[in-house]
Every structure is written in C-alpha cells, then in structure tokens.
Amino acid sequence: MSLCENCQRAPAQGEYAKSDRRLRLCRNCSERLNLQDDFEHLTLEVHDLAERGEHNRALGLLEGAWQEYRARDRDDWLKGAILAEEGFILERAGRLNEALEKYRSLRELGFHPSGRFGYSESLARSEYITNQIALARLVEKLYTRADAIREIESALESGQTAGDPVPNTLDALAEYARLARRVPVRYKPLLVKVSDWWGVPGPSQSPHDEVSLAAAVQEAWAARNGAAQRFAMLLQEARAPAGGGVPAKEAVELVERYIESEPVGFFRAQGEHLLDELGKGRRS
C-alpha cells in the first residue's frame, strides 16, 4: 500500500488533482488541501473588496468563512490564515490597534511545521519573520521606534540560533537598518549567511563595519531588490503573450544575456529555469 505523498505517514486513499498538481493523499491531507483551496478561492474576493476600500464587507466574508469552515480546521491552519488576512485588512482600514491584536494572536497561535500541508520548518520561520515585520511597523506607528526594534530583534534572534537563515531574514535586517540606523555587528554572521543564500556579492567591508552593519545591510538589500525588479521585467518581456510576444528565439537570447549580466546568484538561477522552460516550449 502506498503512503500519502504529503505526510508520508498514513496510507494514500485517493487522488487529489488540481491544475498541474496530482497527488496521492491520505484522508486528513486531502481534507486539508480541499479546505485550503476553498479558503484561497474566497481570499481572492476578500482582496478585491479590500482593494475597493470595502473593508467591512471583506471582514464580514472572513467571519462568514470562519463560521462555515471552522469544523474542518483540525490543525489551526485556517485560524492562522484568517488572522493574517484580518490583520492585513484592518491595517488597510486604519484600524491599527485591532490589526496589532490580530498579528499578536497569530504569533501566539505559533508557526508550527508539524502536520501542516506542504509546511516545513523553514517556511514556519519565514512566516514568523514576516509577521514580526508587520508587527514592528504597527508598533512603530502606535508606540515607539524602540518598541518596533524589539520586535525585529526577536525575529533576528530566532535566525541567530537556527541553522541556515530563511531568505526574508534580509528584509528583517533592512527593517532594523531603517528603524535604528545602527545595526549591531553581532548580526554579521546572519547577514553573511543570508547574503550567501541570495547570492548577493559579499557584504563589502566599509569603515563603518566596526560599529554598524547598516550600510552593508542596505547594500545587500538594494542589490537583492534591484535583481528582483530586473527579473520581473525579464519575465514580462520573455513571456509576453502569444501573438504580440517576442518570438521564442529572441526570448531565449534575451534570457541568455540576462544570465550573463545578472550579479545576484538567486536570480541568475531563476533565469536558468526560465531558459529551460523556453527550451521545452520550443521543442513541443
């Protein structure tokens, strides 16, 4: 008997298929994935409403979803997803104290990898950092910068003790630099490791390194962001819709030129993937 392709614990009982995903899952995992699909479908509508400034209706939809789906929420996945959405909408609506409460509740709920679909230790740490950055921004508006810095420090301390840093550690460091101007040198190993992850050319030695990493952090952050923008533009050009788009041969050349000139390793690798994809497209 084959095991569930997600949890590898229970026997697979049926096939789950949606767009390009095809998996053999156990009952728990397929229930969870269906719940995730139902909720994610609804969040499209929630974001639409929020975009139009209809915050109360968006919050009403989330509350309705909670009532409708809560019985299916065995592992608090839905609870956490709803808290994050509510925090986001309340913040947009300017209801900052309430938004702060949501982000705090989410932190208390925790980011636990066990048993959550497609959820790994590093994804849990990454979500924790994202939530801490959101918290810090609210705390800065509602209280003081020093309070906000403490939120970022907890995000960074968790990265200090863990093995490999998760990629958005760089965003937490940049947030620290924005808030404090002086970034403690004790974070240097973290900065070096996360710069390596992104393949950002090593944090340069500046004379200020002795007292603050701020300049080096901002440099690495700007390098990553610049590369992300260049890659987004490349995607647009190389994947222009059929008809008005660039012919495949030119798209391939475009991507090849990009790979040669892109200094940031992570995005160079993304370029290689894109090249494979275009190559496949040409053959078929």
The residue ranges that bind Zn ion (CB under 5 A) are: 4, 6-7, 26, 29
CB of 112 to Zn ion, least distance (A): 16
Of 120 and 261, which has the nearer Cβ to Zn ion? Answer: 120
CB of 12 to Zn ion, least distance (A): 8
CB of 7 to Zn ion, least distance (A): 3
CB of 124 to Zn ion, least distance (A): 18
Distance of CA 202 to the CA centre of its chain: 23
Other C-beta atoms lying within 10 Å of the C-beta of residue 147: 15
Of 3 and 192, which has the nearer Cβ to Zn ion? Answer: 3
Could you identify the residue written with the tokens 């810090």?
136
Of 7 and 96, which has the nearer Cβ to Zn ion? Answer: 7
CB of 58 to Zn ion, least distance (A): 32
Cα distance between residue 258 and residue 264, in whole Å: 11
Cα distance between residue 245 and residue 250, in whole Å: 10
Of 72 and 150, which has the nearer Cβ to Zn ion? Answer: 72
CB of 16 to Zn ion, least distance (A): 10
Cα distance between residue 38 and residue 237, in whole Å: 33
Of 6 and 270, which has the nearer Cβ to Zn ion? Answer: 6
Of 4 and 172, which has the nearer Cβ to Zn ion? Answer: 4
Of 26 and 133, which has the nearer Cβ to Zn ion? Answer: 26
CB of 21 to Zn ion, least distance (A): 14
